[in-house]
Structures are given as C-alpha cells and as structure tokens.
C-alpha cells in the first residue's frame, strides 16, 4: 500500500468511526476568504450546527497526494493532542465541499491576528495587559510542549486574538519530538532559531527553537511592531541573525520582562530557559523597575547591540526613511521624476490575488482599474544600506527599451507613502514559469520548439547585456511564458542585499544555476555576465531534458550537489540532443568564467543550429 493511500485510508476510517466529526459543508453560511498563504486558505463562515462563527481552513494540495494528506493528517493529529486549551485554537471537526476540498473547522477569532491587533490597539495597552498577553502565549506553548510537540512556526500572524484572549494557531509545521526527520523549510525568518538558519540541513528544530520564537514575540509585545520590520529578509539573515544581534529594548519596558525575552532569544539553544521556567518568571515579574536610556548599563544582554540603527524605538517611532540622508531621498525622487517612472496609487489596483511568494513577501496579480490591464505587483524593502542599489535599479528598469522577451516594467507603487516597502508593477505572464511549462508540456515539444525557446532566452539576455544589466539569478523559475513566448524577468530584488551567501542561495533554490566561482571563493562574489552564461548553459540542458538539473542525483542533499558542481561535474547529455547544441551548453557551463562564450556567440550558434535542424526536417 502506498504512503498516500495509507494516510488517506486512515483519514477516512477516522471519519467513518466518528473519531473526527464531519460537518456537512452546506451547513455553513456565507464562507468568506479572510487569509491566504503559501500553505493554505482560511475562510470565515457561520455554522448552523454549532450556532457560532467558525474558520474553515484548507491546505493547498490540489492532487491530494502524499504531501497533501501528510500535512492535513499531521495538523489534525497535533490539534487533537492539545485541543480544548484556553490559549490554543479549538478544533471542531472537518468538512468536504462539492469539489472534494478538505477543510478543518476551527474556532473563529474575531479580533484577528496579534500583529494586526498590536498595530491597531497598541496605544491602549498598559503593561499589565501586555504581561497577561505574554502569559496567554506561554500557557498555550506549555501545553504544546507537554504534549511533546514542537510548533516550529510561532509568530505574530498565527497568534490570534479573541475577546481579550490570545490563541496559538497553525500547527501545520509542527512535529512530534519522537520524529527523526530533519526539518528543511517553513517559518518566518525573523522568528526562526539562528541555530537552524546556520545549518538548515542537519539541525532539527526543537523546544528551544520555539523558546527563541517566543522571545521575539515577547519583544514584539513590548514594541507594538514586527521584529526587524525596516530590514529586508536578507539583511535579517546576514546581519541580525547570524551575527547574534537582536532588536533594541524599548523605553519603559520592565527590566524583569527584558531579562525573560533576552534569555529566550539567546544564540545558544542550550542556554535558553524552558517554557516552564518562563511561565514561572512571568508569574513573579515586577513592573516597577523599568528600562530607560540612563539605566541601560544595569542590563546584562550580550546579544543586544544598542549602537545599531534600530535603537531608541518608542511609540512615536517613524519610518526608517526619515533617518535617511536627505540627499538619498532627493536622489530617489529625482530618479522617479527624471526617468518619468509612473507612480501608481495603491488604490489603482483591483482584483488582487495571491500567486506566489518571493523572499521579500507576496507576489500578486491585479488589474489596473483605469487601463483594465492585468499586471503583477511584487514588493521589495528599501533601507539605508540598499537605497543606492535601488536607485540604480530603477534607472536600469526605466532606461531599458521594451523587448518582446523581457517582462515589462510599468512603474512603482506603495501601500504607505511613509513606508520603506516599494512595489514593482510588472507585466503579467499567463503561462507561468518555464519549469512548470516543461513539466506539463515537454512530451509535446519537438526540437524546433526547444530551439525556439532557447533562442528567445538568448535574445532577451543579449538585450539586457547590451545595457550592462546582469541578471544574476537566472533560473527556470524566473523565465516565464506568456502566450507561448518566453519572458525573462530582470527585476531581481536579491540585488538589494549586502552579500550573497551560499546559505541564501540554498534557501532561494538557486544552487543549480549559480556560477561555481561563488562556492570556490567562499565569500563576497560579484556576479558578472559570465555568471549569466553559466546559468544559460544549465537552462539549455533543462530545455533539452525537461527535468530539474541534478534532481535525479541529489534532490534535497544540497551540500553534495555543491561539491559535485565545484568538482566540475555536470548533467549528462540527453539522447537525441543535437551534438552542436550539447557543445554549446557545455561551453556555457565551463568551470572557468573566462572560457565561457559571450551572449553574442550563443545567439549566433543557436541560429546556426536551428538552420541545420530545419534543413533536416
């Protein structure tokens, strides 16, 4: 019996035997979508049977195969283990709609998630209320740990607020402590155990990992804002997490409370307290002795750097843009004006739908109201360390003439004009990524089709290189298809990072396409046009095979994959591939960047190969 069948059968048996309550989907009134993420979608509805509002949560997984049932059964198991605790979201049962989509029927929290609640109500919260909120989270986590479960995804978006009480939700990433497999994904980076980030392949997140997340959450309760909110994910990883730096303490915070979260976010997992210790400390906290700038030397916080740019946050904290040199602000404004870059008001968009997740946040499709045109909106964070790069990229985007094989840049937008988050407004591609297109359509492609796609990729890169624009992140995930034509996106928000590390390349799943020089140098690496040529070589092989590079060898073993590439070893040619095409992509992925052809030679050779193939047909 296959894994998926055993999981599916056990799930059905649980329903049939009454271990899990099954609700008729038709007994829910007015299901309305209230949240959507990379793992699932949540609806608000009224249950006629329960006589109350509920949340209906589905998990993404259209084919309902191995991973879908694994995730669904996993979350059911963990919710059942801690059900009916006052500080954990209640589980009522499951439901199945007419399309056979499975839903968990959960308690509805009418005040939304903690992050949004703090943004709206922080000014009204005194320290007695904040401590009670911390106690709510701690009590819920105590129950979870007592059940020998690690949550692994604690953050303020899945702590819910209901009638003055906090509820821990979203046990989808949770794992029992007797599970031996390593965890390779999931979690929001600002709340994620640094020990895991330093060694994602080998390190198993544990109770101490949840304690670290709890420490970040406690700081968030003291500040009213999300951690590192003015810093990109890359910089959180490179500067704040790996270096051991943390957010600065907030003026007026009780020193006992600071000591609790400082111990919780200790860089060494072995030095963090248990949840039982934290619950005890919260019950015995003193509120009268508070932190201020003058008594900061009383604190013993080796992980906190009070000289970093984020110090001295208080209730009247303003956007990080107010801390920028005025020349930078003027430069940004001047670039927008002088290059005639269109600035769209955020209310110019309608029919906004989630389509994917980038490293900086969600990627959405939308309709421009006035033009009735479908577009993609993609966000990036701009701060003092990256504003110069951002200004240069805006110049590049606006100066590049439109090309049929390059995603068009229409302009920029902001949800909040005082925010450091900018939104790129881009052309929408209706055919998805090249990777997914090959997966679905490869058997129907002949060599004329494959060469046509290869040529279009080469033409797009030739056009960008003529403006001295280096892509640096070329892969089959950012080569898109629109009306059966190739569209390359050169809007690489990773260019706004301080340093491109191997760990980041792993997390971005770019190992296969990355110039081996970055692995050999083991440090800062300036990506060049030759780096793009290496990526082109891998892409040409992928077009010839229809497969993900190296996937049949290593799959998730990224360190072995890197070693394989450093040794100069590559994928084998596919039977039936024209020899001249094989020779071309092998030249592109040469270990020595100086030996790789330029894009002009690649374009010429592909045209020649196409002529030869057509003459043979």
Instruction: Determine contact, residues 513/457, Cβ cutoff 8 Å.
Output: no
Phi (first) and psi of residue 456, to 5 degrees: -65, -40
**Would you put residue 139 in left (φ > 0), alpha (ψ -120 to 50) or beta?**
alpha
Question: If we measure between CA atoms, which residue out of 195, 232, 225 comes closest to residue 211?
Answer: 195
- The residue whose two tokens read 């796609």 is 453
- The residue whose two tokens read 């304690």 is 211
Beta carbons within 8 Å of 167's beta carbon, 6+ residues apart? 87, 88, 89, 107, 109, 136, 140, 159, 160, 161
Rg (CA), the chain: 26
Phi (first) and psi of residue 353, to 5 degrees: -135, 135
**Would you put residue 474 in left (φ > 0), alpha (ψ -120 to 50) or beta?**
beta
Which structure tokens are listed for 497?
A: 């990072």
Torsion of CA 512, 517, 520, 521, to 10 degrees: -130
3-state secondary structure of 168: strand
Per the annotation, does 378 bind a ligand? yes
> Helix 207-223 and helix 127-146: axis angle, to 10°?
170
HSE, side-chain direction, 13 A CA sphere, residue 54: 24
Phi (first) and psi of residue 46, to 5 degrees: -110, 130
Feature table: binding site: 378
Feature table: binding site for ATP: 378
């Amino acid at each position: 019996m296959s894994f998926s069948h055993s999981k599916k059968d056990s799930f059905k048996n649980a329903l049939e035997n009454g271990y899990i309550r099954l609700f008729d989907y038709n007994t829910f009134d007015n299901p309305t979508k209230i949240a959507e993420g990379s793992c699932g979608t949540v609806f608000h509805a009224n249950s006629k049977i329960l006589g109350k509002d509920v949340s209906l949560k589905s998990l993404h997984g259209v084919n309902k195969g191995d991973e879908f049932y694994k995730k669904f059964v996993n979350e059911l198991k963990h919710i059942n283990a801690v059900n009916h605790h006052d500080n954990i979201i209640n589980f009522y049962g499951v439901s199945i709609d007419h399309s056979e989509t499975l839903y968990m029927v959960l308690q509805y929290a009418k005040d939304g998630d903690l992050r949004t609640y703090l943004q709206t109500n922080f000014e009204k919260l005194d320290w007695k209320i904040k401590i009670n909120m911390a106690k709510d989270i701690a009590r819920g986590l105590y129950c979870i740990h007592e059940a020998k479960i690690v949550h692994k995804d604690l953050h303020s978006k899945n702590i819910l607020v209901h009638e003055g009480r906090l509820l821990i939700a979203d046990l989808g990433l949770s794992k029992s402590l007797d599970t031996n497999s390593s965890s390779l994904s999931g979690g929001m980076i600002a709340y994620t155990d640094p020990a895991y980030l330093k060694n994602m392949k080998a390190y198993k997140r544990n109770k101490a990992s949840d304690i670290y997340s709890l420490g970040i959450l406690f700081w968030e309760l003291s500040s009213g804002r999300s951690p590192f909110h003015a810093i990109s994910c890359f910089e959180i990883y490179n500067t704040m997490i790996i270096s051991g730096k943390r957010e600065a303490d907030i003026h007026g915070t009780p020193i006992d409370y600071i000591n609790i979260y400082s111990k919780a976010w200790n860089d060494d997992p072995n030095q963090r307290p248990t949840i039982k210790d934290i619950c005890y400390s919260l019950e015995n906290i003193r509120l009268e002795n508070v932190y201020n700038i003058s008594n900061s030397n009383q604190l013993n916080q080796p992980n906190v750097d009070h000289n970093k740019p984020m110090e001295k946050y208080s209730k009247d904290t303003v956007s990080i843009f107010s801390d920028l040199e005025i020349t930078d602000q003027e430069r940004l404004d001047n670039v927008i004006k002088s290059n005639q870059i269109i600035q769209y008001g955020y209310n110019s968009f309608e029919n906004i739908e989630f389509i994917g997740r980038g490293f900086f946040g969600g990627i959405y499709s939308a309709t421009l109201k006035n033009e009735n045109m479908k577009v993609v909106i993609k966000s990036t964070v701009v701060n003092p360390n990256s504003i110069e790069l951002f200004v240069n990229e805006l110049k590049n985007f606006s100066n590049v003439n439109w090309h049929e094989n390059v995603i068009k840049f229409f302009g920029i937008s902001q949800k909040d004009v005082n925010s450091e988050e900018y939104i790129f407004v881009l052309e929408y591609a209706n055919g998805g990524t090249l990777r997914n297109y090959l997966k679905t359509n490869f058997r129907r492609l002949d060599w004329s089709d494959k060469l046509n796609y290869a040529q279009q990729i080469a033409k797009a890169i030739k056009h960008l290189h003529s403006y001295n624009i280096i892509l640096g992140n070329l892969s089959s995930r950012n080569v898109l298809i629109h009306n059966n034509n190739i569209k390359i996106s050169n809007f690489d928000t990773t260019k706004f990072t301080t340093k491109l590390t191997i760990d980041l390349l792993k997390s971005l799943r770019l190992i296969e396409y990355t110039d081996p020089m970055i692995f050999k140098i083991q440090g800062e690496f300036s990506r060049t046009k030759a780096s793009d040529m290496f990526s082109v070589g891998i892409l040409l092989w992928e077009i010839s095979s229809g497969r993900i590079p190296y996937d049949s060898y290593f799959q998730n073993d990224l360190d072995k994959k890197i070693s394989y590439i450093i040794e100069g070893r590559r994928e084998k040619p596919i039977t039936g591939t024209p020899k001249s095409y094989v020779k071309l992509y092998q030249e592109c992925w040469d270990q020595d960047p100086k030996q790789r052809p330029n894009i002009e030679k690649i374009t010429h050779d592909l045209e020649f190969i196409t002529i030869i193939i057509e003459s043979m047909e």
